[in-house]
Copies of this chain bind each other. A is one copy, B any other.
Amino acid sequence: MALTNSDGTTSLPDNTASIKQRTTKQRTAIAAELAQTKDFISAQDLHSQLKHSGQVIGLSTVYRALATMSELNEVDVILREDGEALYRSCSQNHHHHIVCTKCGNTNEITAEFVEAWAHDVASAHGFSDVTHTLEIMGVCSHCTS
């Protein structure tokens, strides 16, 4: 979005926070419901959970809200083994997950040195504006026995 200044000139958008956001009943409800849900949840489940609690919101709207929240880094997104996306209200600090491929249980793990390493590798390759994903998958002890 190009910002039109009072003198008629335009300025280039700030590439981070350039998304026009309008506060709506639906987005508020979606964000609130997601904040209450501690675990990861799919868009479908979040939709029916909202419906069940009286908030009838279109499925498309849920998907759109989650997509923009994801772009704004307000939610974490991971992919289940079957490809379905799971969302969770973003916790303050960046972290990763170890996921059981049998029962779907997830534990958070922190890896500060991976953060630093990823940044170093990226700048060594001349990359900027760096993000990364890291997921560890396996079978948890509960599902092994």
Contact = CB atoms under 8 A, between A and B. Distances in A.
A127 B98 contact: yes
A114 B111 CA distance: 10
B117 A128 contact: no
A7 interface: no
Given A83-B84, A85-B83, A122 B144 contact: no
A131 interface: yes
Interface string A62-91: 000000000000000001010111000000
Q: What number of copies of this chain does the assembly contain? A: 2
A32 interface: no
A127 B111 contact: no
A128 B53 CA distance: 39
Interface in A92-122: 98, 100-101, 107, 109, 111, 114, 117-118, 121-122
A1 to B, nearest CB: 18
A106 to B, nearest CB: 11
Interface of A: 79, 81, 83-85, 98, 100-101, 107, 109, 111, 114, 117-118, 121-122, 125-141, 144
